Amino acid sequence: MITDEISRHLSERIIPFWKSLRDDVYGGYYGWMDFNLKMDKRAVKGCILNSRITWFFASAYTLLGDKSLLEEAGHGFAFMKKYCMDKEKGGVFWSVDYDGTPKDMTKHTYNQAFSIYALASYYEASKDEEALNMAKELFQLIETKCTDDIGYKEAFDRDFHEIANDKLSENGVIAEKTMNTLLHVFEAYTELYRVSKMPEVKERLEWILDTFADKVYNPALGRQEVFFDARMNSIIDLHSYGHDIETAWLIDRGVEVLSEKKYEEKMTPITKKLTEQIYKVAFDGHSLANECERGVVNAHRVWWVQAEGVVGFLNGWQKSPDKPEYLEAAGSIWNFIKEFVIDTRAGSEWYWEVDAYGVPYPDRPIVEPWKCPYHNGRMCLEVIRRIGNCET
């Protein structure tokens, strides 16, 4: 049974691994482990890394009820509150040094959103009102300092003057707006609305859904556009397979939390098409390729893309029970993960990426500012929530 396997993997591998990265001297969690499993205890600590770890432990506690998980989430929350938050200028730093000293004081909308995501989930787990108040403050900060008349701007200096968005731009372009930031603001606001029911958050969720439908989604190609100029014009021919399958289930979740028939009717055809298109063009029967730029497929099998594939196809099957091939796809990707992506060495977790034949890339670390339990840990939690003891 896929759920039994994934539940064991969560409890026996993922949770113990991330507990082992806890820094009891300086707080938070260590920020780097190389491919050879050498931990650098003096590496920079990404604030996204620590917010995602905090989110993971809080969410795992809420599902599993193990109080050690709540204690870990509290450890992460304490580090966020003491070191990641800019008490003078507001917002969240991009990174701090190993001892909590501010390192990169860039303020990025994406980073603010992940702090909201963590704080909302920690509030749900702990009922700590301070965490909810911090999340509300960051919501107001994003809405007042990180927006223009078109949508969400990306990167700022410490004083919230706009700067080049080099942190969330790839593929040879510098994007002034991105699908990725919009998606994760939506994700964060979904969780904040779920625990707070703030009407102003609901209003912004609806606005974001309209933006996805009207400006991000490309109906002619059945995909999302990825990188945009300031007026939300696409600036590159890029199909991000992982983001599309992730978006499909995150939007479905947000629509469910909103509980507005209008948006269910508007968004469901889009999320179904995104799922269908990824199944058609990115899934090879075993795993998902990474992306396609200007017609050229990047066939690397990236850890987070595989994790989102499992959840996205499971969600697709739940939304369309007449599509058993989606459930089979989720099981097939899990089998690929088990065989090739999970690093079976003692003291490790998942490889960052492997090639199409399952051979890992040795230049990729096991832990770094982007590599954390957000995707694979969440995959485990979602499968347990969604299918219990169903078999694939």
Strand partners, 107: 156
Inform me whether the pLDDT recorded for 86 exceeds 70: yes
**Torsion angle, CA of 99/103/109/110, rounded to 10 degrees?**
-60
Q: Which residue in this structure is represented by tokens 């100029």? A: 229
* Beta strands in the chain, from DSSP E residues, in sequence order: 45-46, 95-96, 102-104, 107-108, 155-156, 162-163, 177-178, 217-218, 223-224, 227-228, 238-240, 291-293, 296-298, 301-302, 353-354
Q: What is the pLDDT of residues 199-231, one digit of tens each?
A: 999 999 999 999 999 999 999 999 999 999 999
Please tell me the least confidently modeled range out of 90-99, 131-140, 383-392: 383-392
Q: What is the pLDDT of residues 272-298, one digit of tens each?
A: 999 999 999 999 999 999 999 999 999
**pLDDT of res. 299:** 97
Inform me whether the pLDDT recorded for 392 exceeds 50: no
Report all structural domains of the chain as residue ranges with CATH numbers, in order of start: 2-387 (1.50.10.10)
**pLDDT of res. 238:** 98
Question: What span, in angstroms and rounded, lies between the C-alpha atoms of 287 and 285?
Answer: 6
Q: What is the pLDDT of residues 318-344, one digit of tens each?
A: 999 999 999 999 999 999 999 999 999
| Banded model confidence at residue 1, pLDDT cuts 50, 70, 90 | low
Q: What percent of the chain has pLDDT over 70?
A: 99
| Banded model confidence at residue 388, pLDDT cuts 50, 70, 90 | confident
